A and B are shown apart, each in its own frame.
Chain A
Amino acid sequence: MFKQVSQRKKRLGSSAFPYVMTVPALILFTIFVIAPFIYGFYTSFYQWDGLSDMKYIGIKNYIYALQDETFRLSLKNTFVYAVVVTIFKNGIGLGLALLIANQIRGKAFCRTALYMPVTFSYVVVGVLWTWIYNPTFGILNGMLEWLGLDGLIQGWLSDPNIAIFSVAWVDIWKWIGFHMVLYLSALQSVPKTLYEAARIDGANKFDEFIHITIPQINSIIVLNVLLAITGAFVNNYNLVNVMTGGGPFNSTETALTYSVKTAFSYRNLGKANAMSIILFAIVFIIGFLQFKMMTKDAD
């Protein structure tokens, strides 16, 4: 009986079954992920408006892109955006998680409420906050006026010095709950006995946080940070496009929004793809680290 089963298993194992099962995934993945990557890389060496014939120009697109002041500014903006977003998403997320971790009453409510924006689309969130920032009827300036803090009233999206931060805040606002939930589950997995032992040794709350909590949830902190960075590099397109269109004076232009403009408004697909590849090269390292983190204990 046992022999029969194993023989049958052998026969089935060598059949076409596993290949038939994996082929659809392989085809879809190759056409819509691998092919665009290769094709984008290929066209980045050509001068091309998307319609007429392509002309090979070597690495000139890359040189043009890096010489382009707006592109350099957009890269800088992308970095500023990513750093601000990563720090605040994690700082606030971890802070709130610490506040409600030992809470019994109100914990479920806080989690449900704070997590809600995660389910909203960037378009909805972006439009909503554009109105909140609105100088005539927006509630942010209205609130500051009501509190008597007239000095803080700003043109949140029209002042080139702060517009990028106003946009970044919306991204932070949307994801606070997400990071909070990840930190909460990490905090709950820290053994209670560690804290009890520390208290006997006379440690205060701050010591506990530095010497027990942080080392215990270290891997979740790293994962949260990586998730926030990769997200920030990509998601800025949605909010910038909805809220400012890259203005005022390119102060919120990011690498993605500028590459799309280069392709569609300036009809320069070769240069746009060169910009995409440059951005990809930058994000790849972070993506690789995140991938390593996620697969570390999988096999």
Chain B
Amino acid sequence: MNENSKKKVHYKKILAAVPKWIILGFFLVITIYPVFWMVFGSLKSTSEFYLNIWGLPKTFLFENYINAWSRGQLGMKYINSILTTGLFLLIVIPVNSCAAYALARVRFRGRKLIYSFLLVGMMIPGGVLGMPTYTVALKLGLVNSIPGIALVYAGQAVSFGVFLMRAFYIGLPASLEEAAIIDGCNRFQSFLKIVVPLTLPGIMIQVVFSGLNTWNEYFLASLMLRSDEVKTLPLGIMSFVGEYSTDFPQMFAALTAATLPMIIIYLIAQKQFIAGLTAGATKG
């Protein structure tokens, strides 16, 4: 093959890749551009918003953020969301880890029965039972309270979490715990000191998967959290949109303020996010 035909092959390869990059480029643009559009819009004045739909803002009106933040009480909504998700994780991670450990590593009467019972939940798609769940929460006095909704979320995350964690514990060699027991640990100590540190990756998957689900949850929250002081971020955005439906730059500012921290966390920890969410949705 001489130089010329080599070059021809090379060009052919590039040409063949053009349609591919057009398709990829299209999907990249429609994924990324709306986010930039949101950020740009949040910094424009109301008049510029209508005149300059597409591009960068000419003046950067950061006061949109100050106004949106105080009008929408976004600080309080952030705190509520952090409390809800934090409390939820504090309940569900130890509860699921303990149950999954016992079901994976200890032989006891009723083990199979308990595990099958817990797995029934995986066949009940969450959300379909939103209405009845709300009714039960109402009877138990858990409506309109952050600990209340954290408990409900925890209950609904049991099945999947136990299923996921059990897979991690089953893979561990038995000799580890035996060694710990010889050293004088009891069963619980050996679990806490030896097993838990070894299965941190599994715990992280659960934290990312269930934590993000709870952080973004809207359906049950919209049923259960009725008054302003307990509303989480998704609910806060919804009521902001309803109340200030004409001041578009401020609405964009509220939306950006609610999303940007998550985008930054995602970009920093994207490996954990992608691994956690995909493994979380399929299995460990």
Which residues on the B side are within 8 Å of A24 (C-beta)?
95, 98-99
User: How far is it, in angstroms, between the C-alpha of A45 and the C-alpha of B21 when the chains are bound?
Assistant: 57
Please determine whether B23 and A22 come into contact, CB atoms closer than 8 angstroms. Answer: no
* A40: B residues at CB distance < 8 A: 129, 131-132, 135
Q: Do A25 and B28 touch across chains, with their CB atoms under 8 A apart?
A: no
- Which residue of chain A lies nearest to B28 when distances are taken between CB atoms in the complex? A113
- Interface flags for B122-136 (1: CB within 8 Å of A; 0: not) read 111111111111011
Are B152 and A32 in contact, with the CB atoms below 8 A? Answer: yes
B266 within 8 A of A: yes
Docked Cα-Cα span, A260 to B217, in Å, equals 16
CB distance from A251 to the nearest CB of B (A): 21
A124 and B237: CB pair below 8 A? yes
* Chain B residues closer than 8 Å to A79, beta-carbon distance: none
Query: Is there contact, CB below 8 Å, between A124 and B132?
Result: no
Task: Report yes or no: B123 in contact with A127, Cβ–Cβ below 8 A.
Answer: no
Q: Pick the contact of A288 from B34, B123, B278 — CB < 8 Å?
A: B123
Contact of B128 among A131, A263, A280 (CB under 8 A): A280
Given contacts A18-B106, A22-B114, A110-B28, contact A31 B219 (CB under 8 A): no
* B76 beta carbon closer than 8 Å to chain A: no
Given A116-B266, A280-B129: A123 and B114 interface contact (C-beta under 8 Å):
no
Residues on the A chain within 8 Å of B215, using CB? 121
Can you name the residue of chain A whose Cβ is closest to the Cβ of B254? Answer: A127
Which residues of chain A (124-147) have a CB below 8 Å from chain B?
124, 127-129, 131-132, 136-137, 139, 142
Cβ–Cβ < 8 Å partners of B127 in chain A: 234-235, 237, 256
Tell me the minimal C-beta distance from B206 to chain A in angstroms.
13
The verdict on A263 contacting B131 (CB below 8 Å), with A13-B108, A121-B216, A287-B122 known, is yes
Q: Which residues of A contact B121 (CB under 8 A)?
A: 29, 33-34
Q: How many positions in chain B have a CB within 8 Å of any CB in the partner chain?
A: 100
Interface string of A274-299 (1 = CB under 8 A from B): 00100110011011100100110010
Given contacts A29-B158, A99-B20, A182-B282, contact A113 B31 (CB under 8 A): yes
Does A39 reach chain B (CB closer than 8 Å)?
A: yes
Query: Chain B's nearest CB lies how many Å from the CB of A105?
Result: 11
Report yes or no: A39 in contact with B135, Cβ–Cβ below 8 A.
Answer: yes
Per the bound structure, the CA–CA distance linking A182 and B178 in Å amounts to 38
Complex CA gap A234/B152 in Å reads 17
A26, CB-defined interface residue at 8 Å: yes
Per-position 1/0 for B231-275, Cβ under 8 A of A: 001110110010000001001100100110011001100100110
Q: Is B283 an interface residue (CB 8 A)?
A: yes
Q: Which residues of B contact A96 (CB under 8 A)?
A: 23-24, 27
Is the pair B274, A21 in contact by a Cβ cutoff of 8 Å? no
Q: Enumerate chain A residues within 8 angstroms of B140, measured Cβ to Cβ.
A: 31
Among B107, B128, B263, B273, contact of A279 (Cβ-Cβ < 8 Å): B128
Residues from chain B with Cβ under 8 Å of A73 in the complex: none
Tell me the smallest distance from the CB of B56 to a CB of chain A, in Å: 14
CB pair A119 B128 closer than 8 Å: no
A203 at the interface (CB under 8 A from B): no
Contact stretch, chosen from B4-12, B59-67, B181-189, B196-204: B181-189
Q: Is B68 an interface residue (CB 8 A)?
A: no
Asked if B78 is at the interface (CB within 8 A of a chain A CB), the reply is no
Q: Mark A12-25, 1 if CB is under 8 A from B, else 0.
A: 11110111011011
> Is B80 an interface residue when CB atoms closer than 8 A count as contact?
no
Q: State in angstroms the CA–CA spacing of A129 and B259 once bound together.
A: 14
- The interface size bin for chain A is 35 or more
Q: For the complex, give the distance between the alpha carbons of A294 and B283 in Å.
A: 7
**B212 A119 Cβ-Cβ under 8 A:** yes
Q: Please indicate the chain A residues that have their CB under 8 angstroms from the CB of B82 in the complex.
A: none
Do A29 and B128 touch across chains, with their CB atoms under 8 A apart?
Answer: no
Asked if B167 lies at the interface with its beta carbon under 8 angstroms from chain A, I say yes
> A residues within 8 A CB of B99?
21-22, 24-26
Q: Are A25's CB and B130's CB within 8 A? A: no
Q: Which residue of B101, B125, B237, B259 contacts A21 across the interface (Cβ within 8 Å)?
A: B101
Contact assessment for A39 and B136 in the assembled complex, using a CB-CB cutoff below 8 Å: yes
With contacts A39-B132, A116-B35, A276-B129 known, what are 6 further pairs, Cβ within 8 A?
A: A5-B182, A14-B108, A17-B106, A26-B99, A29-B121, A39-B136
Q: Can you give 27 A-B contacts (C-beta < 8 A)? A: A5-B182, A14-B108, A18-B102, A18-B106, A22-B103, A22-B114, A25-B158, A28-B158, A33-B156, A33-B158, A35-B136, A40-B135, A110-B28, A122-B234, A124-B237, A142-B54, A176-B27, A181-B274, A182-B282, A234-B128, A242-B238, A259-B131, A260-B223, A276-B129, A284-B124, A287-B124, A295-B119
Q: Using CB atoms and an 8 Å cutoff, list the residues of chain B in contact with chain A.
A: 20, 23-24, 27-28, 30-32, 34-35, 37-38, 41, 49-50, 53-54, 91, 95-96, 98-99, 101-103, 106-108, 111, 114, 117-133, 135-138, 140, 151-152, 154-156, 158-159, 162-163, 167, 178, 181-182, 186-188, 212, 215-219, 222-223, 233-235, 237-238, 241, 248, 251-252, 255, 258-259, 262-263, 266-267, 270, 273-274, 277-278, 281-283
